[in-house]
Amino acid sequence: MEEIAGKYSKTELYNSLYKYLRRSFAGNSYADKMVVKLTEIADELFPGLYEDCISDVMNNISDIDELLLGSQISEFYRIEYSDISKLSELFDFLNNYEEIYDNNFEQFCKRNAYNPNDLILIPITGDSMTGANIFDGDTAVLNKSLNPKPGDIVIASIKGKYFIKRYSVVNNRIVFVSENPNYQPYLAKPDDRVKIIGVVTDIMRSIRK
């Protein structure tokens, strides 16, 4: 520990801790480990440095604002309840889903290891997740039976609004991360009424011109 600690000035340690704290928000397991190590060093050499750093990081995490978080989700389609004409609009560009046209949802779900009661289709709007190859006009397949793990992409309700974001947990607090540098991570607050609707397992995309 002394050998490692001797490599850091207070400024260098702060900058390193700040960098890895930000990365840990995106579910980076290596960054999580680095945060633990750097925090141990900070506690020994510069008491209070970690608290100052995490406070600065949190202060740079935005409050709810669609200009920062991106477009909210406005439509949901449940396979077992939705009208076939609407489902056909979502699936008509996918040759592998002929069963949809025959209303054979059970076969469709079985082939893709889905429980029909757990499957939700969500048309995506906006560009906040382009870094994860999720684009405006795509359709996300959501499994509401899965419990999210750090790094998963989820659909979350925040104050009654729905967003697609990468899920992270830092110091026992939920952080939602966009995959676009134009949008800031969001630290969930106690009064946000956060609810994780489910985990995104697949993305469907039209390749029609």
Structure tokens that stand for 129 in this block = 């997740």
Residue located via tokens 């405006």: 136
Q: Say if residues 14 and 52 touch (Cβ distance below 8 Å).
A: yes
| Predicted pLDDT of residue 97 | 45
Highest mean pLDDT of the ranges 54-63, 116-125, 149-158: 149-158
Query: Which pair of structure tokens corresponds to residue 60?
Result: 């740079």
User: CA 116 → CA 103, 108, 147, 203, distances in Å?
Assistant: 12, 9, 17, 17
Residue 105, φ and ψ in degrees, nearest 5? -65, -30
Is 161 annotated in the active site? no
Q: How confident is the model at residue 62 (pLDDT cuts 50, 70, 90)?
A: low
**CATH number among 3.40.718.10, 2.30.30.60, 3.90.79.10, 2.10.109.10, domain 66-204:** 2.10.109.10
Give domain limits for the chain. Answer: 2-59, 66-204
- Asked whether the beta carbons of 114 and 165 are under 8 A apart, the reply is no
Q: Where are the alpha helices (DSSP H) in the chain?
A: 2-5, 10-25, 29-45, 49-59, 66-69, 84-91, 105-111
Q: How confident is the model at residue 94 (pLDDT cuts 50, 70, 90)?
A: very low
- Between 7 and 73, name the one with better pLDDT: 73
With a cut of 50, say whether residue 30 has pLDDT above it: yes
Check residue 208 and give its pLDDT: 44
Q: Quote the pTM value.
A: 0.62
Can you give the pLDDT at residue 86? 66
Handedness of CA 148, 153, 154, 158 (dihedral sign): positive
Kindly tell me if the per-residue pLDDT of 145 is higher than 70. Answer: yes
Indicate the pLDDT class of residue 187, thresholds 50, 70 and 90: confident
The question of whether 128 is a catalytic residue gets the answer yes
Q: Determine which of 87-96, 141-150, 196-205 has the lowest per-residue pLDDT on average.
A: 87-96
Average pLDDT over residues 106-111: 71
Q: What is the pLDDT of residue 23?
A: 77
Whether residue 139 has pLDDT greater than 80: yes
Mean pLDDT score, 166-175: 90
57 versus 3: the higher-pLDDT residue is: 57
Among 33-47, 80-94, 177-191, the range scoring the smallest mean pLDDT is 80-94
Q: What is the DSSP letter of 140?
A: E
pLDDT surpassing 80 at residue 142: yes
The one catalytic residue among 16, 128, 168, 178: 128
User: What is the mean pLDDT of the segment spanning 44-53?
Assistant: 86
Of 16, 24, 165, 168, catalytic: 165
What does pLDDT average to over the chain? Answer: 78
**Taking a C-beta distance cutoff of 8 angstroms, is the pair 116, 105 a contact?**
yes
Residue-wise burial string across 98-108, b where 16 or more C-beta atoms lie within 10 A, e elsewhere: ebbeeeebeeb
Which structure tokens are listed for 113? 């290891």
- State phi, psi for 122 to the nearest 5 degrees: -130, 110
